[in-house]
C-alpha cells in the first residue's frame, strides 16, 4: 500500500540556480512567501493560496554581504529582511537602508576581534569558511530571535557566552532579552511556534560533535532556554506547537516529542527496523555490504497527525530516494509516497497537508498534496 501524491503547483524560482541558493517557501498557510538568496540580494515573492505569485508583490532586499557569510530571514509581511552574518545581525529594508544592526562576536573559528564591518575581514583567508548562527521571526513578526556568537558590544570581562540567543525588537533593534545557548555551533535553524510569539525552537549543528536542541520561552522580560537534548535535529512543529518532529544526530531515530524533549507515547521509529529494504537492492546482496537505512534531516508535520519523512541519503546507492508518510495515530504506520513522476531531493512540509520538493535543476519547487479518489 502506498499514498499517491498529486502535483498542486510548480513555483518557479525568481533567481538562477547558477548564482543563487535553492528557493524555499516560508510562512504558514495563508501567508506563504517564496524566498531565494544570491550573493547580492534576497528576493521575497508572496504567494496566494494556490502558490501563484501575488501580482506586483515581489520585494528585493540588497544583501549586506555574500551568502556564504551567513543566513537570513524575511518578516511575515515581507517588508523587512534580517541577515545573520559573521560579525552582526542586520535588518534591511527594501530600499537597502539599514533599519538596525546588532553587532556580536566573530563566527570565524578562534577569531576574537570585534569587527565593525564586513570589509574588515572580507579578504582574510581565515574568515573564508566561517561558522554561522541564524535568525527567525516570531509569529506575527514583532520580534527577531537571533543565535549569535558572544560577546556583544559593551559587555564587560566575562560577560557573554560563546553562543548566545537573543530576542530583538524587529522595529528598532533593541535587545529585549538574552541567554546562553550552551553550544559551539557550526550552524543553526530557527523554528517559530505557530501561534505564540514568545516561544521558539532552535536546532543547532556542531558538525560531528552533536546537534543541541533548544526551546526558548520569553516572558516579556527574561529568556529561559530549555536544553532538550544534545543530539537531536528539530525538523518541525505540529499546528498546536506542542509537539516536535525530531531526527537523532546519527539519523537512526525519528520521533515525536513534547516541548520538554520527551517522546510522546510510542511515537519513535528506528530506521533500521521500520524502513523496508530498497527495491533496488539485489536479492542476493550481502547484508554486511548493504548500508543501513537512515532518516534524512528533512520533513515535518503535514497536519496534526501526519509526518512526511525521507530516506534519500541511504537510498542513493540503490536507486531513487524514498519519501514516507508517518501516521502518528497508530492506524497506518509507515507508508511510501507514490509520485506520478520521479522527484529529486528531500521533502519540506509546508503545513495544511502540502509539501514541496525541488525540481531536478533546482530552478523551481514542486508543491504536492495527497491524492484522493475524488481528486
Give the pLDDT of residue 284.
Answer: 75
375 in a domain, yes or no? no
281 in a domain, yes or no? yes
Return the exposure string of 45-72: e unless at least 16 CB atoms fall within 10 Å of the residue's CB, then b.
bbbeeebeeeeeeebbbebbbebebbbb
Cell of 12: 518557479
Q: Is the pLDDT of residue 375 over 60?
A: no
Q: Are 356 and 367 in contact (CB under 8 A)?
A: yes
Domain housing 319: 3-370
Task: Say how many domains are in the chain.
Answer: 1
d(CA 147, CA 72): 12
d(CA 180, CA 160): 8
- Reference 181, options 113, 219, 134; nearest CA is 134
User: Residue 84, SS3?
Assistant: strand
pTM of the model: 0.95
pLDDT in tens, 332-360: 889 999 999 999 999 999 999 999 999 99
- Reference 224, options 202, 248, 242; nearest CA is 202
pLDDT in tens, 87-135: 999 999 999 999 999 999 999 988 999 999 999 999 999 999 999 999 9
How many percent of the chain have pLDDT more than 70?
97
User: Residue 20, SS3?
Assistant: strand
Q: Which residue has the cell 520533513?
A: 299
Cell of 80: 523587512
Omega before residue 119 within 30° of 0, cis: no
Q: Are 216 and 200 in contact (CB under 8 A)?
A: yes
Task: Kindly state the average pLDDT of the residues 37-60.
Answer: 97
What's the farthest any 2 CA atoms get from each other in the chain? 67
pLDDT in tens, 279-307: 998 887 766 666 789 999 999 999 999 99
Strand boundaries in 57-186, DSSP class E: 59-62, 70-74, 81-85, 88-92, 98-103, 134-137, 143-149, 163-169, 175-180
Non-local CB neighbours of 198 within 8 Å, separated by 6+ positions: 138, 217, 218, 219, 220
Strand partners, 74: 81
68 in a domain, yes or no? yes
Task: Kindly state the average pLDDT of the residues 308-331.
Answer: 94
d(CA 183, CA 297): 19
- Reference 91, options 38, 188, 169; nearest CA is 169
Residue 286 sits in a domain of what CATH number?
2.130.10.10
d(CA 104, CA 111): 12
pLDDT in tens, 18-36: 999 999 999 988 899 999 9
Q: What is the mean pLDDT of the chain?
A: 94
| pLDDT band per the 50, 70, 90 thresholds, residue 6 | very high
- Reference 71, options 204, 236, 215; nearest CA is 204
257 in a domain, yes or no? yes
Give the pLDDT of residue 372.
Answer: 75
Amino acid at each position: 500500500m502506498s499514498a499517491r501524491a498529486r502535483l498542486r503547483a510548480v513555483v518557479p524560482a525568481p533567481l538562477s540556480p547558477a548564482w543563487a541558493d535553492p528557493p524555499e517557501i516560508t510562512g504558514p498557510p495563508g501567508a506563504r512567501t517564496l524566498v531565494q538568496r544570491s550573493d547580492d540580494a534576497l528576493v521575497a515573492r508572496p504567494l496566494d493560496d494556490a502558490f501563484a505569485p501575488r501580482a506586483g508583490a515581489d520585494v528585493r532586499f540588497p544583501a549586506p554581504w555574500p551568502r556564504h557569510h551567513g543566513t537570513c530571514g524575511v518578516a511575515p509581511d515581507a517588508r523587512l529582511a534580517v541577515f545573520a552574518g559573521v560579525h552582526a545581525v542586520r535588518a534591511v529594508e527594501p530600499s537597502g537602508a539599514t533599519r538596525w544592526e546588532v553587532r556580536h562576536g566573530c563566527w570565524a573559528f578562534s577569531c576574537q576581534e570585534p569587527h565593525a564591518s564586513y570589509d574588515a575581514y572580507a579578504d582574510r583567508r581565515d574568515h573564508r569558511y566561517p561558522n554561522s548562527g541564524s535568525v527567525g521571526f516570531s509569529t506575527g513578526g514583532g520580534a527577531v530571535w537571533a543565535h549569535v556568537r558572544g560577546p556583544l558590544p559593551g559587555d564587560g570581562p566575562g560577560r557573554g557566552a560563546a553562543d548566545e540567543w537573543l530576542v530583538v525588537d524587529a522595529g528598532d533593534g533593541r535587545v529585549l532579552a538574552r541567554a546562553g545557548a550552551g553550544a559551539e555551533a557550526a550552524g543553526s535553524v530557527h523554528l517559530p511556534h505557530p501561534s505564540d510569539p514568545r516561544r521558539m525552537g532552535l536546532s543547532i549543528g556542531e558538525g560531528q560533535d552533536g546537534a543541541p536542541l533548544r526551546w526558548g520561552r520569553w516572558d516579556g522580560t527574561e529568556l529561559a532556554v530549555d536544553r532538550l537534548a544534545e543530539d537531536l535535529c528539530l525538523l518541525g512543529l505540529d499546528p498546536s506547537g506542542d509537539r516536535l518532529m525530531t531526527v537523532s544526530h546519527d539519523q537512526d531515530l525519528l520521533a515525536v516529542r513534547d516541548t520538554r524533549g520527551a517522546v510522546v507515547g510510542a511515537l519513535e521509529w528506528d530506521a533500521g527496523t521500520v524502513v523496508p529494504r530498497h527495491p533496488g537492492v539485489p536479492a542476493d546482496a550481502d547484508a554486511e555490504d548493504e548500508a543501513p537505512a537512515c532518516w534524512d534531516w528533512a520533513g515535518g508535520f503535514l497536519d496534526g497527525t501526519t509526518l512526511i519523512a525521507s530516506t534519500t541519503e541511504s537510498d542513493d546507492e540503490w536507486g531513487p530516494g524514498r519519501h514516507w508518510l508517518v501516521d502518528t495515530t497508530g492506524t497506518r504506520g509507515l507508508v511510501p509516497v507514490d509520485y506520478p513522476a520521479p522527484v529529486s531531493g528531500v521533502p519540506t512540509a509546508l503545513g495544511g497537508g502540502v509539501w514541496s520538493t525541488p525540481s531536478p535543476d533546482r530552478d523551481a519547487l514542486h508543491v504536492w498534496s495527497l491524492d484522493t479518489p475524488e481528486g
